[in-house]
């Protein structure tokens, strides 16, 4: 018997994937799907014909469902999530939680007041490889972490509502917070719009962690190759997580540089280890965590507070792009050249 039912809003890229996973959770069922496009709703009928469809999100808020999953464009997240919470529904929103800090703060506060689960779709926090990497980092296997570098680039997909910082960097920032367990104390960014005016398609975020650690996030919609890589550099060992290489997703390099009496640096070169990682679809674990949070009241891994933290960092990054562009580049007025 099904004791948990879900409504899903938005049948775009993530909607069908979420629907499939929600429906195969034990004792759970997807009851209704809303999308403004009737053509898309016909696809729902093809995939899961027992699910009701509607073109009005309101129908879902009024329906007898326990959880609402929101997979719509970012600018609508706040309004839909707020409405769902006000109707007493538990909410899972696709990342990023909102497109500004104030809205995210309000949602987190609203969920707290009402005692409802608010969760955000930071899928990579449920990736087995990311969790193995986190375990290794937290156990101190890499020593003290000095630096993390992430790269998430490909050709497209261009979005017209948000720039590449808000589209791709939520993944990397949530991975950073999750594996490091620390929040950056400073953020700067460089970003450029090459193809469409004012919508950044390449960005570099530079994060500081109180002087003892740095992180660098490179995201791009304008690159010939698909790269999805996180490099963690400890003072004892280093690790590379490459999401595009299923057979060797995580490599631990037993190598490093040791500083002795200045200026002597010596190098250690040891074995590389590639742990075996049992594959489970991250989205399935994410949906199961949402179901469990609803049932037990436990805080889900990717709870609203984490979603808010990611939004704060993205907003800070975005803010520095504008200011830095005008004032800080060295103007190369080259008299002699």
Instruction: Compute, in degrees rounded to 10, the torsion defined by CA atoms 89, 95, 100, 103.
Output: 10
Nearest C-alpha neighbor of 318 from the set 204, 228, 180:
204
Q: From residue 234, how far is each of 134, 137, 231, 265, 326 by CA, in Å?
A: 13, 9, 10, 16, 35
Is residue 152 helix, strand or coil?
A: strand
C-beta of 97: minimal distance to a second copy in Å?
13
Q: Smallest distance from the beta carbon of 62 to a second copy, in angstroms?
A: 27
301 is written with which tokens? 């891994």
Q: Closest approach of Cβ 120 to a second copy, in Å?
A: 15
SS (H, E, C) 84-119: HHHCCCEEEEECCCCCCHHHHHHHHHHHHHHCCCEE
The rounded distance, in Å, linking the Cα atoms of 102 and 106 is: 6
Q: By C-beta, is 59 or 106 nearer to a second copy?
A: 106
> Which residue lies nearer to a second copy by CB, 139 or 330?
330
Q: How far is the CB of 237 from a second copy (least distance, A)?
A: 9
Measured from the CB atom, is 53 or 320 closer to a second copy? 320
Nearer to a second copy, 22 or 68 (CB): 22
CB of 136: closest distance to a second copy in angstroms?
12
Given the complex with a second copy, which of 138 and 226 has the nearer CB atom? 226
């Amino acid at each position: 018997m099904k004791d948990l039912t879900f409504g899903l809003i938005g049948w775009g890229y993530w909607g069908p994937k979420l629907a499939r996973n929600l429906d195969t959770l034990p004792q759970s069922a997807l009851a209704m799907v809303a999308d403004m496009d009737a053509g898309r709703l016909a696809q729902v009928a093809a995939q899961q014909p027992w699910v009701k469809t509607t073109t009005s999100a309101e129908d879902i808020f009024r329906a007898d469902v326990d959880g609402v999953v929101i997979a719509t464009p970012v600018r609508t997240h706040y309004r839909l999530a707020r409405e769902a919470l006000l109707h007493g529904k538990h909410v899972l929103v696709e990342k990023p939680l909102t497109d500004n800090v104030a809205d995210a703060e309000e949602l987190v506060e609203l969920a707290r007041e009402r005692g409802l689960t608010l969760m955000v779709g930071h899928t990579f926090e449920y990736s087995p490889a990311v969790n193995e990497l986190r375990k290794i980092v937290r156990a101190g296997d890499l020593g003290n972490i000095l630096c993390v570098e992430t790269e998430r680039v490909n050709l497209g997909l261009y979005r017209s509502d948000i720039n590449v910082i808000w589209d791709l960097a939520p993944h990397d920032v949530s991975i950073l917070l999750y594996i490091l367990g620390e929040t950056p104390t400073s953020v700067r960014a460089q970003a450029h719009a090459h193809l469409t005016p004012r919508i950044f398609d390449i960005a570099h975020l530079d994060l500081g962690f109180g002087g003892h650690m740095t992180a660098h996030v490179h995201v791009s919609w304008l690159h010939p190759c698909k790269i999805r890589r996180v490099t963690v550099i400890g003072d004892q060992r280093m690790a590379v997580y490459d999401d595009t290489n299923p057979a060797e997703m995580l490599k631990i390099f037993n190598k490093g540089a040791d500083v002795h009496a200045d200026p002597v640096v010596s190098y250690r070169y040891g074995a590389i280890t590639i742990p075996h990682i049992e594959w489970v679809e991250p989205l399935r674990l994410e949906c199961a965590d949402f179901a469990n949070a609803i049932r037990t009241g436990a805080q889900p891994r990717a709870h609203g507070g984490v979603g808010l933290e990611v939004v704060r960092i993205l907003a800070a990054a975005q803010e520095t792009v504008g200011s830095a562009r005008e004032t800080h580049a060295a103007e190369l007025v080259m008299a002699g050249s």
